[in-house]
Each structure stands twice: as structure tokens, then as C-alpha cells.
Amino acid sequence: MEHRQLGATDIKVSLICLGTMTWGQQNTAEEGYAQMDYAVSRGINFFDTAELYAIPPSAETYGRTEEIMGEWFKKSGKRKDIILATKVVGPAAHLPWIRSGTAIPDRANIMEAVEGSLIRLQTDYIDLYQIHWPQRPVNSFGKLGYEENSITGREADDILETLEALSELVTSGKVRAIGLSNETPWGLMTFLKYAEGRNLPRVVSVQNPYNLLNRAYEVGLAEMSMQENVGLLAYSPLGGGTLTGKYLNGQVPKGSRRDIDKRSSRYKKPSAEEATQNYVDIAKKHGLDPAQMALAFVNTRPFLTSNIIGATTMEQLKTNIDSIDVKLDGEVLDDIAALHARLSNPCP
């Protein structure tokens, strides 16, 4: 397993990160324990979770994923072997069970959220604490278009309050490093500006979607990742399972994400179907597993720090981790580039 530096910290994380959002909903606690055991046996030292999880979000499963991870830490005694990442929710008026629907990433909410996460995770520190989504309106989760009236004039002040609260957590030792998620170039730039100008902690990572169907990160943020040493933690590297090909031709396997989570998805559209079929065809042409080809492509990106995989079965987990040994030759990459030029970013 390859390990990479997390920003300018002394923390090294595995190139494959274990995503956990299915635990407590699609997966039982016992299945979560088994996934963590297997991941560690394969050299993975990086686990990612969030106070919001399990997914799809509900009052009944809020925080359950962190609890399962905390139970495993207690049983296994391996907390110090793991680089632990979790997240505080962004504006959550649509999630009334989280701090009565008033959650925003301000000081009060961050302080309350981190204490809850520490208790559920049965630990006294978090290695990487992330803002799950920005306080201001941004184009995330498939949203497109931008309206001038989205700007209130308080965006920079809100970011400063968030960063100052995170700084308190770093100073206290409860958090080692800080990161962002579902963020934009302007947001990352503003966090970095305040960090430099006010001697506050520097963001070390951005957790955004990145896969063969959604390479929007390459427009703006990839350059920032490489110029500013703030690497990508790629989530949904399989497009919510789409790039395995299992949803082609209208199929929805029982127990799959689309079967359980009825919410809309950026990956459920005709353009995604066409592109996915073509990527599956490329994989078959070169004798590759479609999921492993998609993951291996993400692993090649120079702006990547870690690739966050998720699985609901041990077979899927093994296949996904095995992608670390798949090396894409020039012909495969040329075919992917040609398809991307023809069907660019069908699911931004």
C-alpha cells in the first residue's frame, strides 16, 4: 500500500482510504468491524467518517457510523494505528435532528459537534477534522448555475469564524489537522489567505467528488491542490457505484445504494448511462475490471492524496482495494482521454 503526505503535516495516509457511510444503514456494525479489520490487514491506515453518517441521513442513524468505529477502536485497541477523519455538517436546516436544524459551521456548532464526535468515536483526538459543506451557497451535490443574489457579503467573515474555531481545536489538541469538503477554489483560497495572514491553521485537504464521470475538480481546484499542497481526498470514485456498470439498462440490484437511497443523484441521467457503458467497454477491451479501472485512474492523478472507497460487501471491498495493484498502460489512458474529450463531465 502506498502512503502519501497529508499536506504539509507529518501525517502519512494510505493512498486508499476506507469510506464508512454505509455502516449503520446498509451495513451492520459487525460488517463494519470486518471491513476495518480487512482494510488494516491490507495496509490501509486512513478511515473517513462524519457526524452525519449513516447515509441516507436520518434521525435514527445520525452518528451511528462514528459509534461503530468507536466500538471497533475500543475492541481492537488500534486507535493509534489509524489516521481518523471526520466532519462537522454545514448548514443543516434540512436536517432538524442535528442541533434542532440550526447547525452551521460557526464556533458554537463546531464546538458542540466535535465533542459529540469524540464521545461516539471513543477517542480524545481527531486527526483530520473537516467542514462537510460550506456555509455559503455553492454548486455542490450536482447543483449547477450561479445567481448574483447568492452573495450576502458575509461569506469571508463566516469563513474566518470557522477557521478561528478550528484553530482553537488544534491548539487544544483535540484536532491535529483541518480540511474542507464540497468546497470551491474561492473558498479554499479564502481559508488559505486567512491562515497565512492571521497565523491560523492551514487547510491540508479538500474532500470533493472525483471520478471518470465527474472531473470538475480539474477546473481550478486541481491547480490549487498542486500549487498550495492541499491534496484531494476523492470521494465517490465509482460515482456511487455507477462505474461498476451494475446500474446499466435500468438495473437496480436489491440492497444497492440506489435501491436504499431514493434521493436524486447526479449519476442517474442518460448522459451518465452512455458514458458509463463506454467506460465499461474500455475496461473489457483491455481485460480490466470496470471498477478497478475507474479506481486506478483516480489513483494516477498527481493532485490526489487519497482515494476514498466504499463497499457494502467484502467482495466489493477486496476488489476495490486490489485496484492499488492495477497499473493503467498508455493505451488504456489514451482510450479514457478520447472518451472524456467526447463525453466530458456528464455528471458534474
Q: Worst-scoring range by mean pLDDT, 39-48, 111-120, 265-274?
A: 265-274
> Dihedral of the CA atoms 25, 294, 230, 37 (nearest 10)?
50
- Tell me how far apart the alpha carbons of residues 12 and 43 are, in angstroms, rounded to a whole number: 12
Q: Which helix (H) or strand (E) is 33 found in, with range?
A: helix 29-41
For the segment 4-32, the average pLDDT, to the nearest whole number, is 97
Q: How high is the pLDDT of residue 146?
A: 77
What is the rounded average pLDDT for all residues in the chain?
Answer: 95
For the chain, state the CA radius of gyration. 19
Read off the C-alpha cell for 252: 437496480
330 confidence band (pLDDT: 50, 70, 90)? very high
Please spell the DSSP secondary structure of 133-196, one letter per residue.
S-SS--S-TT-----GGG--S-HHHHHHHHHHHHHHHHHHTSEEEEEEES--HHHHHHHHHHHH
193-221 burial code (b ≥16 CB/10 A, e <16): ebbeeeebbbbbbbbbbbbbbbbbbbeeb
88 confidence band (pLDDT: 50, 70, 90)? very high
Which residues neighbour 64 within 8 Å (Cβ) at sequence distance 6 or greater?
23, 24, 25, 53, 54
Cell 500549487 belongs to 227
What burial class does residue 255 get, using C-beta atoms within 10 Å of its C-beta: 0-12 exposed, 13-18 middle, 19+ buried? exposed
226 confidence band (pLDDT: 50, 70, 90)? very high
For the segment 78-93, the average pLDDT, to the nearest whole number, is 97
Q: How high is the pLDDT of residue 138?
A: 87
236-258 pLDDT, tens per residue?
A: 999 999 999 998 988 888 878 78
- Tell me how far apart the alpha carbons of residues 238 and 72 are, in angstroms, rounded to a whole number: 26
Q: Alpha helix (H) ranges present in 249-306?
A: 257-260, 270-285, 290-299
Q: How high is the pLDDT of residue 152?
A: 79
Angular region, 232: left φ>0, alpha ψ -120 to 50, beta rest? beta
Q: How high is the pLDDT of residue 197?
A: 96
Q: How high is the pLDDT of residue 40?
A: 98
CA neighbor of 28 nearest in space, from 61, 4, 75: 61
- Cα 171 to the center of its chain, rounded Å: 25
Inter-residue contact 104 to 90 (CB < 8 Å)? yes
For the segment 251-280, the average pLDDT, to the nearest whole number, is 86
CA neighbor of 104 nearest in space, from 145, 184, 173, 159: 159
Q: Catalytic residue at 53?
A: yes
Q: How high is the pLDDT of residue 150?
A: 74
Read off the C-alpha cell for 103: 447547525
Longest Cα–Cα distance of the chain, Å, equals: 54
Q: How high is the pLDDT of residue 109?
A: 97
Q: How high is the pLDDT of residue 252?
A: 85
CA neighbor of 128 nearest in space, from 43, 13, 40, 260: 13
CA neighbor of 268 nearest in space, from 293, 247, 244, 254: 247
114-145 pLDDT, tens per residue?
A: 999 999 999 999 999 999 999 998 887 877 77
Q: How high is the pLDDT of residue 143?
A: 77
- Cα 235 to the center of its chain, rounded Å: 4
Q: How high is the pLDDT of residue 139?
A: 80
Q: Which of 33, 53, 210, 267 is catalytic?
A: 53
> Do β-strands 175-181 and 203-209 pair in parallel, antiparallel, or remain unpaired?
parallel
SS3 assignment for 192-233: HHHHHHHCCCCEEEEEEECECCECHHHCCHHHHHHHHCCEEE
For the segment 88-112, the average pLDDT, to the nearest whole number, is 96
- pLDDT exceeds 80 at position 261: no
Q: How high is the pLDDT of residue 260?
A: 79
Domains and CATH numbers, the chain: 3-239+301-329 (3.20.20.100)
Within 10 A of 119 (CB to CB), how many other CB atoms are there?
13
For the segment 170-197, the average pLDDT, to the nearest whole number, is 98
